[in-house]
Amino acid sequence: DFDTAYRFASGAIHQQFDRAAFERMVTGAYPEIARSVFAVVAKGELAPNGNVYLVLKIRGANGVSVEAVYELVAEGGDWKINAVVARPDTGII
């Protein structure tokens, strides 16, 4: 649901991408996240700067597993996704 995902994106992401470009970016750069069949939060950490970092283990519909680190920032009383970095996950999920 890219409409909902875009609503969870931070203001910085909104400045870089309109809704259509956001969907293209996610499906192109993060196919496992865009079409996941399984996801679990493996770790969370509150950083000294107040941001939250979540490590997720994700399996895509394509059969590929990734470990993704999400950076969340506080905006207007809500947590918004400000960045995602994903790498292959060789662990079993």
- pLDDT tens-digit map of 29-78: 999 999 999 999 999 999 999 999 999 999 999 999 999 999 999 999 99
Let me know how long the chain is.
93
DSSP letter at 27 equals H
Supply 30's token pair.
């993060």
> How far is the C-alpha of 49 from the C-alpha of 93, rounded, in Å?
31
> How far is the C-alpha of 33 from the C-alpha of 49, rounded, in Å?
26
- Counting beta carbons within 10 angstroms of the beta carbon of residue 90, is it exposed (0 to 12), middle (13 to 18) or buried (19 or more)? exposed
Residues 56, 65 contacting (CB under 8 angstroms):
no
15 — pLDDT class (breaks 50, 70, 90): very high
